[in-house]
Amino acid sequence: MAKVQVLNVAVLDNPSRFGNPFQFEITFECMEDLPEDLEWKIIYVGSAESEEYDQTLDSVLVGPVPAGRHMFVFQADAPNTGLIPESDAVGVTVALITCTYRGQEFIRIGYYVNNEYTDPELRENPPIKPDYGQLQRNILASNPRVTRFHINWEGCADRMDDSENLDPDPNFIPSPSCLKSVPMETWFLEKSMDLI
């Protein structure tokens, strides 16, 4: 049984200008004292074509963690625009929150992110070179995709093979590298599993 349960993730400051920091309020519960840190990461998928454009926006260590309910706000700077292919700047992408214990990822929470111009003129006639100052980021906060993995909580062995995908959608995107194989519209149209 997992020793950490994520109870809720609230997306703050959403929608927001593209250059504003990402902010997530994360509530989780520890079933017993954890002697080592939990490592949380926010990852921005820069392109569906290749993992090389993924950016880890920030990582934070939380711990040691006593048993009980905990909450913190995880804030990360916006992605480095120089690392995003110009053809992928506008439109839909994905942001991921992951958490690992002793080097083993046990939960991944994915959100669709829509980047678009707020100016109708720019929407109709977008510039060839993206104008990030005019882009708005909108995270589909009500529709997260959650995958949990069984891990060895007592040691640092590799993640166990019997991962448990709690998302009933067979088109679930388990990692950024698989993003290119799934139509982006699929996530928007289907009902997701709530975190709570």
* Cα 184 off chain centre by: 15
Domain 4-189: give its CATH superfamily: Histone chaperone ASF1-like (2.60.40.1490)
Q: Which residue has the tokens 């700077």?
A: 77
Please give the average per-residue pLDDT across 64-91, as a whole number: 95
Please give the average per-residue pLDDT across 184-191, as a whole number: 32
Please give the average per-residue pLDDT across 65-92, as a whole number: 95
Residue 22 has pLDDT above 60, yes or no: yes
**pLDDT tens sequence across 130-186:** 999 999 999 999 989 999 999 999 875 544 444 444 443 333 343 333 333 333 333
Q: Which residue has the tokens 């990402």?
A: 22
Confirm whether pTM is higher than 0.75: yes
Q: Could you write out the three-class secondary structure of the chain? A: CCCEEEEEEEEECCCEECCCCEEEEEEEEECCCECCCEEEEEEEECCCCCHHHCEEEEEEEECCECCEEEEEEEEECCCCHHHCCHHHCCEEEEEEEEEEECCEEEEEEEEEEEEEECCHHHHHCCCCCCCHHHEEEEECCCCCEEEECCCCCCCCCCCCCCCECCCCCCCCCCCHHHHHHCCHHHHHHCCCCCCC
- pLDDT score, position 188: 32
**pLDDT tens sequence across 33-77:** 999 999 999 999 999 888 899 999 999 999 899 999 999 999 999
- pLDDT score, position 49: 85
- pLDDT score, position 104: 96
Domain regions of the chain by residue span: 4-189
**pLDDT tens sequence across 163-179:** 444 443 333 343 333 33
